[in-house]
Chain A
Amino acid sequence: MAKVFIYPATSLILSDLVARFGHKPLGSALGIRERIQTAGVDSPPLQITPEEPKRGLKYAAVEVPSGVRGRMAIYGPLIEEAEAAVIVTDADLAFGCMGCARTDELILFSLRQKGIPILELKYPTNEEEGVQFVAAIKNFLAGLPKESEE
């Protein structure tokens, strides 16, 4: 079972398909869950405190907006443990945790720099493309290592 970063990280479709085909989807929910289940200073709604943008300096320079660095504090650890990635390149309407285009660009760049297996594709617009979409993801995931590194 490989850890597969999904982009958009909020995608229902990618999260389901990766899990359905036997791997672990690394989505934004994992990062948020970890934040809200960790004790600390009260900072609703996501428990992202002013410290998170500082932690995000590991991934982005200080002149990058704090919202980008705060988001990278969520995504950075997920990207670090990703062993593969599935990327939908035309995800223009991903909101919330994926709602910042600058952060999204940085996530894509970081993934591509890692040298991990990456599948890039577009959302299907009809049934035929739907079949190809699911098949491409299934084939890609079948080619990933079955045993995750411990």
Chain B
Amino acid sequence: MAEYIPEYVGTVTKYVFVESPTLTPGELALKAYEASEGVLIKETCFGLQVTGEPEAVDRLIEVIRAFDPAHIFVKDRGFPPGDPRRCRANLGGARPGYLGHEREVRILRYITRGLEVLERRETEAPDEVPAAPKKKPKLDIKRLQELIEKEES
């Protein structure tokens, strides 16, 4: 079996998604280049991919987030940009994970709203959690009996 020699060892790659009415991926890329410090930046249709040493990437992400904190979302990526094992040009289509991104991008505006409200309030967040729907209380057996008797009478 063929030997595998890894590339980009020791680096990290992160996605930067931008869903903003005032900042396009192209504009974001230009701003990021100014602060890149040798970090590889690849512009994509949804934002950027950045690859480099962990500390340099973290510093760049901190700078990028400040451009539009509520509209920029960052996530780790396992592969470096353009990797032929994952690039859609080689696979013939987007890898499955992107469909999951598509799912979440649909609701990013709600997350943005949450971030904006919390920042504006700068107070204790509401205690409520949008958890599973509350279970309806079960019908008490005596109440059921009353209903049956009422129907029968």
Contacts and interface: CB of A to CB of B under 8 A. Distances in A.
Interface of A: 8, 10-13, 15-17, 19-20, 25, 27-33, 35-47, 89, 93-99, 119-127, 129-136, 138-139
Given A20-B65, A127-B113, A136-B129, A41 B74 contact: no
Contacts of B4: 39-43, 47
Given A40-B4, A123-B107, A134 B115 contact: yes
B100 A28 contact: no
Given A19-B74, A99-B96, A136-B130, A41 B1 contact: yes
Interface size class of B (residues with CB under 8 A): 35 or more
B78 A31 contact: yes
B3 A131 contact: no
Interface of B: 1-6, 8-13, 15, 17, 65, 73-79, 85-86, 95-97, 99-101, 103-105, 107-115, 117-118, 125-132
A135 B111 contact: no
A32 B132 contact: no
Contacts of A136: 125, 128-130
B85 A97 contact: no
Contact of A89 (B9, B76, B101, B132): B132
The residue in A17, A47, A89, A133 that gathers the most chain B C-beta atoms within 10 A of its C-beta is A133
Contacts of A93: 99-100, 103
A132 B130 contact: yes
Nearest to A142: B125
Contact of A16 (B1, B74, B78, B95): B74
Nearest to B133: A122
B74 A15 contact: yes
B125 A139 contact: yes
Nearest to B10: A37
Nearest to B79: A36
Contact of B6 (A13, A38, A127, A134): A38
Given A15-B75, A20-B74, 13 more contacts: A10-B100, A12-B73, A12-B101, A29-B77, A30-B76, A44-B85, A46-B78, A89-B132, A121-B129, A130-B107, A131-B113, A133-B114, A135-B114
B48 to A, nearest CB: 13
